[in-house]
Amino acid sequence: MKLVPFLDHSCLTVALSGRLDSGTAPMLRAVLDEPPSGVTELVLDFDGLTYVSSAGLRILLSAQKKMSDCGGRLRIRNVCRDIVDIFETTGFDRLLAFEKKRRQLSVEGLERIGRGANGECYKVDEETVLKLYYEYIDEACVAREKDLARKAFLAGVPTAISFDVVACGNRKGVLYELLKAETLARYIEKNVHRLEEVTDMYVGLCRRLHSIEASRETFPDAVELACGYIDACDVFNDAQRAAVRDLLLRAERKNTLIHWDLHPGNIMMQGDEPCLIDMGDVAIGTPFFDLGQIKQVLYYYARMGLCHRIIGLNDEIAPRVWQLFIGKYLGHPAPDEFAALDGKINFFRAVKNVFLYLSGSGGEAMRSRRRDFIFEMLPPEIAALK
């Protein structure tokens, strides 16, 4: 067995390769018995390790006790499938904190079917879709999306459940099983001759989602999240920030679900059945959170020539979909009523752009544009505050 220790302030990482058995366990014990002073986190990297015997398990348990006694913690990462089986057979999976080794996957040659604030979606094969996060997205975000997808599925949302987390270089990804699926964006392009019928399907999915009641103990509150984004955003002065927060807090606080990125690139069609992906922002709140982002993608991105590039829907077709969609969703209100509702949609579109501005989605050029979007979409009396 080979050991390579690396000290970074209070974290000691030890990379292991080969076999951790009765013959090599003393090597690891010698390193762990005399850790440098001030170490509060011990990371054992099993990336090159293929086997752990009972002698090795005893060393791991001893290391965990040492770290616990000094108020620190032990983490084991890149654990291969064979060693996971050993942990599970012996019950050590309930005693040790460890992360499974991620299967490496390349997206070279794969079709990209969409992208958003946190990552891109690729079609791996006829049965599998990959949500690949950008490099700056941390592991906690990936875990949150998996958790929210599971909770949404249990709540009755038609969504795919991920079956594996993979790595692509330094990026993390989540695999979803979607048999012979394509995005709603592509489905619309193929069925543009029956656009009204397809839009009815889209509206039906949105209404179904927006009718599912859920608990704030299970899902985050979109208004609370949005207020946090407003507080963190540097585009506002104090008066503008207070006015936007006040308008948010006076908004309808519904106990129903929103997706918060419900455009046709995040809806997969299995035959004629729609299914949601990209569940990392699912929350409880007014449907206007979703309507604002749908308008952003189908109307404004299309006007900028970006809709096809981002979600794969033709920039000339997308505004037609929006006009059909919003009329059907709102029930074709009278012009005065529609104007008021459209102003509300624009306000929530501004709020979503605050989040996208903070995330840096689209790079610096798009970040600068988002600042303009925000003030164009806010009520004029708020934008004018000094």
Q: Do 211 and 340 lie in a common domain?
A: yes
Which runs of E-coded beta strand occur in the chain? 2-8, 11-20, 41-52, 73-79, 98-100, 103-104, 111-115, 119-125, 128-133, 162-168, 171-177, 181-183, 257-258, 267-270, 273-276, 283-284
Pairing verdict, β 103-104 and 162-168:
parallel
Q: Do 159 and 262 lie in a common domain?
A: no
Place of tokens 């749908």: 294
CA pair distance 309, 307, nearest whole angstrom: 5
Each of the 386 residues of the chain gets a pLDDT tens digit; together they read 778 888 888 889 999 999 999 888 888 888 888 777 788 899 999 988 999 999 999 999 998 888 888 888 899 988 988 999 999 999 998 889 898 888 888 999 998 887 777 788 888 988 888 889 888 787 777 778 888 888 999 999 998 877 778 888 888 888 888 767 889 999 999 999 999 999 999 999 999 999 999 999 999 999 999 999 999 999 999 999 999 999 999 988 889 999 999 999 999 998 888 999 888 899 999 999 999 999 999 999 999 999 998 899 999 999 999 999 999 999 999 999 999 999 999 999 999 999 999 988 777 888 888 888 899 999 999 999 98
Q: Do 171 and 188 lie in a common domain?
A: no
Answer whether residue 335 is part of any domain.
yes
Cβ burial, residue 208 (10 Å; 0-12/13-18/19+): middle
Answer whether residue 241 is part of any domain.
yes
Q: Do 71 and 189 lie in a common domain?
A: no
> Of 177, 202, 224, which residue is a domain's last?
177
Answer whether residue 62 is part of any domain.
yes
Answer whether residue 251 is part of any domain.
yes
CA pair distance 85, 386, nearest whole angstrom: 62
Cβ burial, residue 256 (10 Å; 0-12/13-18/19+): middle
Q: Do 79 and 122 lie in a common domain?
A: no
Q: Do 133 and 171 lie in a common domain?
A: yes
Q: Do 165 and 19 lie in a common domain?
A: no
Q: Do 186 and 119 lie in a common domain?
A: no
**Per-residue confidence (pLDDT) for residue 232, from 0 to 100:** 95
Q: Do 121 and 205 lie in a common domain?
A: no
For residues 330 and 207, is the Cβ–Cβ distance under 8 A?
Answer: no
> Of 143, 177, 211, which residue is a domain's last?
177
Answer whether residue 358 is part of any domain.
yes
Q: Do 190 and 156 lie in a common domain?
A: no
Coil/strand/helix, residue 131: strand
**Per-residue confidence (pLDDT) for residue 288, from 0 to 100:** 97
Answer whether residue 187 is part of any domain.
yes
**Per-residue confidence (pLDDT) for residue 177, from 0 to 100:** 82
> Residue 14 maps to which CATH number?
3.30.750.24
**Per-residue confidence (pLDDT) for residue 336, from 0 to 100:** 94
Nearest by Cα to 244 from 253, 256, 235: 235
> Residue 276 maps to which CATH number?
3.90.1200.10
- Strand pairing partners for 128? 125, 177
Q: Do 118 and 169 lie in a common domain?
A: yes
Overall number of domains in the chain? 3
CA pair distance 157, 287, nearest whole angstrom: 15
Q: Do 263 and 369 lie in a common domain?
A: yes
**Per-residue confidence (pLDDT) for residue 120, from 0 to 100:** 86
> Residues 304, 310, 314, 317: what is their CA dihedral angle, to the nearest 10 degrees?
-70
C-alpha 59, offset from chain centre: 37
What range defines the domain where residue 301 resides? 182-383
> Residue 166 maps to which CATH number?
3.30.200.20
Answer whether residue 267 is part of any domain.
yes
**Per-residue confidence (pLDDT) for residue 245, from 0 to 100:** 96
> Of 151, 177, 203, which residue is a domain's last?
177
Q: Which residues contact 322 (CB under 8 A, 6 or more apart)?
A: 294, 295, 298, 299, 302
Answer whether residue 106 is part of any domain.
no
**Per-residue confidence (pLDDT) for residue 293, from 0 to 100:** 96
